[in-house]
Structure 1
Amino acid sequence: MSTIVSSIISSVFKQDSKQQLQPTSLRPGQIFNGKILKLFPNQTAEVQIGNQKMIAQLDIALQAGSRYWLQVQPGEGKIYLKVLNNISGVSSNQDSLEAVLRAFGLTGSKENLDIIPFFLKEQLPVSKEILQQTANWIKNMDHPEQGLNTIKWMMQQGYPMKKEIFQSLVSMQSQTPLTELMRKFYDQVNLEGDKSTVSNSLKQILTSFITNESKQVGEKILRTIITKWVNEEDDGVPFSIIKKLGFFPMHTDENTILRETMKNSNFPDKIPTIRQNVISSQVELNEQVKQILQSLKLQDQVVMMLPSKLIELMKQSISVNEKHFLETIISTEILPSSREIDDQFHPIFKKMIHSIGFQYEKDIFDHFKGLENDPVKQESLKSLLIQYVKDESNFSEKQTGEQLLQRINGMQLLSKEMGPLMQVVMQIPIPLWTSVPELTLQWSGRKTEEGKIDPNFCRILFYLELENLKETMVDLKIQNRVVSIKIINDQHQWLQNLKPLHDLLKENLKGMDYHLSSLQFVKANNDQMGKERKGEFPTIYENQSYSGVDIKV
């Protein structure tokens, strides 16, 4: 994971840490060091813990302005607090820590004495269960401070102290990119050779995430050319093209190739001696094409370069028929795929979101509420992973599958609603022509009165590792449908080439009823972007309210 991506994920935890702990987050048995601000009749007082103030019922009369060790007691309707005199009377900080541990019946072990100061420093309520869970969860972590900050965030958000939630949130701070995790899991499942429906579906959906467009187009082009050759179309031109592309030696005889490839097929009795009347059915045609493709044993890089090699071949001295054949292949296979990336990015992006499974729980909820007739419109990566880790016995594959599932859950946990405000954090592979960059997106905004996204106000931060532009950040703000865009990148010479697109971008936004007020190109290492490089991103809880918009740049 890049420096910028790590910064944006970390910034979400840092920004949310400014939130106050909610009274509903307090649980009976928890202990905290609180300050008595005001006293009221009937031993009621205003108590402060951290930045939070609350009205609580005390068990004895206390002095305003003093600090005490307090323990949350069971009760309905209000917060009940008990003063722990055996701790409050201790003057030494070290002795206080050990006294708190004794109150929980815990030993003053190094692990406990290392953990409890964090809760006291952050002024978080602590209980025996939380201390034991924290020690158990972070004991094998390379960066235990990440685990402690995650637990703090969980408590502030009111999340249950469950290991699954903790692991999912920690996974979002991992340095391993999502696409790398997907490739690793695909290789493990593929190598395992499991033919089950779940495994096959997983491999299929993972392929759509980790395969760039040029590989898919290259495979399609090669299959089309070989099919035309085997089916004896275009008077031998396809076979000539295959040789000129370097897949077979120029002196190779096509009957020799066909004879060799059909030896291992399901039709060994159809070994051809002549080309006429060999293929008698679509099944045999498909089998022949399959055998030839397998015999080539092509590496992915060779297949990815095929579209470019076809275009290069067009520039060479070839026959009129060969040129016409290549023009047909390029117009039917390459150009439509290239236009699809440009013109259909929005539907592709929406499909990716659904395919990963960000709406998995919503789809299930809608089904049981009768809003959807079909319980599963399309299997998502998340739904398949849930089935896989439940049934898989191999430790390595199951562990990687769980890590991938935790990453998806982590994104969902970081994406949340806060009254009229919303936040969305996503990491999505975006298959482009020659690469599969990982898009990290942080969106913040507000909802309309109907609960829908307000298209007039939003802020979106995009992070991409592009093939030529390298590490790139786009900061997009919308205020009352007025759009300002800042593109931050180290490759300043590339950014200058984008300036002529300003008018086109402005015109396209105007067609969507948005006004482009500014488009800035900023080098990532200058003073203006110093804060972004250090991970000090603007808080999502600004006075302004924001929402989303789809644009094509």
Structure 2
Amino acid sequence: MFQSEMISSMNRGLQTSENRSLALRPGQMFQGMITKLYPGQTAQLQAGNMTLTAQLEAQLETGRQYWFRVQAGDGMPRLQVMEQVRSNPQGDQQQSQRSQILQQLGLQAGGPHEQLLRHFQQTSQPFTQTDLASGARLLQQSGLPAHHSLQLISRLVNEQLPLTRETFQALAALQHPQSMGETMHALHESLAQSSSGGNESRGLQQILGSLLQQTNSSKQIEPVRQLFNALLTGENSVRTQAEQVLRETGIMRAKESAEQFFSRIQAEAVKPENRAPMQQTFPQLFQGQSGNQVFNAMKPANVFTMLMNAAGPDQPEGLTQMLRLINPDTAPQQVFEQLDRLMQQRNHSASPLLQMIHEQQTDRELLFLQRGQGQDTAQLRMFLQQLGLQHEHDLRIGLNDLQQSREAGQRIETLKGQLLHFLQNQANQTPQTIQQAEFLLQRLTGFQIASQEQQHPVQHLLFQVPFKFGEQYSDITMQWEGKRTKEGYLDEDHCRIMFYLELAAIRDTMVDVQIQNRVVSLTIFNQMEKPEQLQRMFEPILAKRLEETGYKLSSVRWKQPDNTPANDNNNPDVQTEKRKRQNYKGVDVRI
């Protein structure tokens, strides 16, 4: 829930004050009040939080509300007073005016039309007849609470986005508390269990598996894979070290040799009670033949090798299932934690092997955050490309460019492209699977809308990365703010990055990273008390890691916010910031 509230708050704050100015278009209507009269037939007009300087060509009274319509013309916009909208002294003045406007526009009085018009009136938001008609239709179709729907429609109108069901649902998906990581995992599992999937299902399942594997927070499964590989193919000394570590983590039993270990796995794999989970995790081993018969006829080491090959990098659940098979009484997470502790021991007798695994682990984690050089693409950058946040742009580059990309081996299948293809060919799929795919597609489209190119130099990017902490998938919401270089890359020297996390131990957390001339200052917002000991322990490590990548750590601050984003209406600091954002510099118009 925390991240959905933060995303909603970020969406409202993505635009700067320049982008929040009143952009009037012909045909729009809005309500405003004359606040001051000046010599020379000029006046000050108040429309919500925005103040306009206007040239009067009609006798208007100070302190009165008027309805205005924007007229077409060159130069500064011209406003016409809607004389037909008059007050009714014997009834509700505001409701009377709304009824008159709906009657003039040929729209039905009452219902969603009047509800949306009342919202536009209260917020002094300019709108057109089409905005009102299309917005009312969305309001009627929406299953969200009315105030959420009205806010979403206002944003669509304000940013001149299409008032369609697709754009509405995309923005609504950003505010939904459903976890993107959990949905990706659930959809991947549903596709793996489905017996009716074609090429569309397999393509979607493959890219989901690849993305989920990349976002395993500490790549906990990979050190186990390396130990198994060392046990299979390592030299005698390396194999001995691997056996020792596997015994200490509980994967191998005490005094159990590698051959006995392989035989035990073979025996477990052919047990009747293990057939269902094995067939579910390794369906490719059970196609058109009996897995038990095949396993019985093979040497134990070959069975182990086959399982290892089936549990490839894009199938992390396969190796986890092997750990459950080896020792059903020990949770895989306990194995991961014990192995991580062993890798931190510098005086361990198997130190050379553990040190090598630990260094490779660190390199993979750093690669996820660094941009590659030349033909090497950074893992984070590749991950965002695989999500498909530039899917439509890639479709517009033309057939020639696509052909060149194929020839260069640069064609990247995207999650959004696979989701679109899957939903267009969704025969024989369960409603739950379709719903999960639709939510992911809407969430990705919502991030694209939120990160659309801005007209001013500062650009904002908003996206979400699913991460796995232990056995639980969570989401890391990231907002990047800065400029692009001439080459089109994000400026790494001057930018601001915000991370929004929901962590198991310290709960809701926001990390604000500000970078100027490659000098980094961090501010961590969390409701808990500052962990002084942990900060003293990890701050030098953070400074060293940043220095290795060309950055200098300036400061790390811990702040406890007074209010959560859900209660920001009661926070004077937040309200002051909102007023700053909504401050309007003024524009000359003719009435």
Contact 1:215/1:303, CA 8 A, preserved across alignment: no
CA deviations 1:73-110 (Å, max 9, x no partner) are: 56677756554333135452221121112112233324
2:361 maps to 1:337:
yes
Distance 2:414 2:303 in 1: 31
**What is the CA distance between 1:469 and its match in structure 2?**
4.1
Counterpart position of 2:515: 478
What does 1:160-309 align with in structure 2 at a 5 Å threshold?
Answer: 160-211=162-213, 212=216, 216-217=221-222, 220=225, 224=229, 244=253, 257=267, 260=270, 265=290, 268=293, 271-272=296-297, 286=306, 298=325, 302-308=331-337
CA deviations 1:268-322 (Å, max 9, x no partner) are: 589559x6xx99xx899638986998898748984444445668999xxxxxxxx
Contact 2:223/2:361, CA 8 A, preserved across alignment: no
Distance 2:145 2:465 in 1: 25
What does 1:319-338 align with in structure 2 at a 5 Å threshold?
Answer: 336-337=360-361
Counterpart position of 1:550: none
Contact 2:135/2:163, CA 8 A, preserved across alignment: no
Contact 1:11/1:536, CA 8 A, preserved across alignment: no
Contact 2:182/2:473, CA 8 A, preserved across alignment: no
> What secondary structure is seen at the aligned counterpart in 2 of 1:430?
strand
Residues 312 and 448 of structure 1: CA distance in aligned 2, closer, same or farther (over 3 Å): closer
Distance 2:296 2:462 in 1: 57
Distance 2:265 2:60 in 1: 100
2:354 maps to 1:349:
no
Contact 1:341/1:432, CA 8 A, preserved across alignment: no
Decide which of 380, 383, 392 is 1:361's aligned counterpart.
392
> What secondary structure is seen at the aligned counterpart in 2 of 1:141?
coil
Distance 1:405 1:131 in 2: 27
**What is the CA distance between 1:120 and its match in structure 2?**
0.6
What does 1:398-437 align with in structure 2 at a 5 Å threshold?
Answer: 398-416=434-452, 417-431=454-468, 436-437=473-474
**What is the CA distance between 1:256 and its match in structure 2?**
8.2
Normalized against structure 1, the TM-score is what?
0.73
Residues 519 and 369 of structure 1: CA distance in aligned 2, closer, same or farther (over 3 Å): farther
Counterpart position of 1:317: none
Consecutive unaligned residues of structure 2, counting only runs of 5 or more, are: 272-284, 312-317, 371-377, 582-591
Contact 2:112/2:137, CA 8 A, preserved across alignment: no
In structure 2, what residue type is equivalent to 1:126? F
Residues 136 and 300 of structure 1: CA distance in aligned 2, closer, same or farther (over 3 Å): farther
Counterpart position of 2:559: 522
**What is the CA distance between 1:223 and its match in structure 2?**
6.1
Distance 1:117 1:331 in 2: 66
Residues 533 and 474 of structure 1: CA distance in aligned 2, closer, same or farther (over 3 Å): farther
Contact 2:179/2:474, CA 8 A, preserved across alignment: no
Residues 480 and 342 of structure 1: CA distance in aligned 2, closer, same or farther (over 3 Å): closer
> What secondary structure is seen at the aligned counterpart in 2 of 1:190?
helix
Residues 308 and 335 of structure 1: CA distance in aligned 2, closer, same or farther (over 3 Å): farther
Residues 502 and 145 of structure 1: CA distance in aligned 2, closer, same or farther (over 3 Å): same
CA deviations 1:422-475 (Å, max 9, x no partner) are: 112221123567664422122222456777644554332222223444332212
In structure 1, what residue type is equivalent to 2:98? L
**What is the CA distance between 1:405 and its match in structure 2?**
1.2
Residues 189 and 118 of structure 1: CA distance in aligned 2, closer, same or farther (over 3 Å): same
Greater mean deviation of Cα atoms: 210-219 or 6-15: 210-219
**What is the CA distance between 1:407 and its match in structure 2?**
0.8
Distance 1:181 1:404 in 2: 7
Contact 1:31/1:125, CA 8 A, preserved across alignment: yes
Distance 2:525 2:185 in 1: 29
CA deviations 1:469-527 (Å, max 9, x no partner) are: 43322122234554322223345464532224444544555666655443223345699
Decide which of 144, 147, 153 is 1:145's aligned counterpart.
147
In structure 2, what residue type is equivalent to 1:137? L
**What is the CA distance between 1:373 and its match in structure 2?**
2.3
Contact 1:209/1:430, CA 8 A, preserved across alignment: no
In structure 1, what residue type is equivalent to 2:424? K
Counterpart position of 2:425: 391
Residues 327 and 483 of structure 1: CA distance in aligned 2, closer, same or farther (over 3 Å): closer
Distance 2:29 2:60 in 1: 19
Distance 2:29 2:324 in 1: 66
| Fraction of identical pairs, as percent | 23
Residues 176 and 362 of structure 1: CA distance in aligned 2, closer, same or farther (over 3 Å): same
In structure 2, what residue type is equivalent to 1:31? M
What does 1:89-168 align with in structure 2 at a 5 Å threshold?
Answer: 90-91=88-89, 92-139=93-140, 140-168=142-170
2:410 maps to 1:374:
no
Greater mean deviation of Cα atoms: 387-396 or 256-265: 256-265
Distance 1:432 1:39 in 2: 63
Contact 2:474/2:502, CA 8 A, preserved across alignment: yes
CA deviations 1:15-38 (Å, max 9, x no partner) are: 6496545545x353x432245788
Counterpart position of 2:535: 498
Greater mean deviation of Cα atoms: 160-169 or 32-41: 32-41
Distance 2:43 2:341 in 1: 81
Q: Larger relative CO (CA 8 A, sep 6+): 1 or 2?
A: 2
Contact 1:21/1:155, CA 8 A, preserved across alignment: no
Normalized against structure 2, the TM-score is what?
0.69
Contact 1:72/1:82, CA 8 A, preserved across alignment: yes
Distance 2:308 2:498 in 1: 50
> What secondary structure is seen at the aligned counterpart in 2 of 1:85?
coil
**What is the CA distance between 1:244 and its match in structure 2?**
1.6
**What is the CA distance between 1:194 and its match in structure 2?**
4.1
Contact 1:258/1:272, CA 8 A, preserved across alignment: no
2:443 maps to 1:444:
no
> What secondary structure is seen at the aligned counterpart in 2 of 1:519?
strand
Distance 2:262 2:523 in 1: 56
Distance 2:223 2:383 in 1: 22
Decide which of 498, 501, 519 is 1:461's aligned counterpart.
498
In structure 2, what residue type is equivalent to 1:119? F
Contact 1:215/1:300, CA 8 A, preserved across alignment: no
In structure 1, what residue type is equivalent to 2:155? W
Contact 1:477/1:484, CA 8 A, preserved across alignment: yes
**What is the CA distance between 1:187 and its match in structure 2?**
3.2
**What is the CA distance between 1:180 and its match in structure 2?**
2.2
In structure 2, what residue type is equivalent to 1:33? Q
Greater mean deviation of Cα atoms: 216-225 or 413-422: 216-225
Contact 1:366/1:372, CA 8 A, preserved across alignment: no
Decide which of 51, 65, 68 is 2:66's aligned counterpart.
68
Consecutive unaligned residues of structure 1, counting only runs of 5 or more, are: 315-322, 543-553
Counterpart position of 2:85: 87
Distance 1:253 1:368 in 2: 54
Contact 1:209/1:431, CA 8 A, preserved across alignment: no
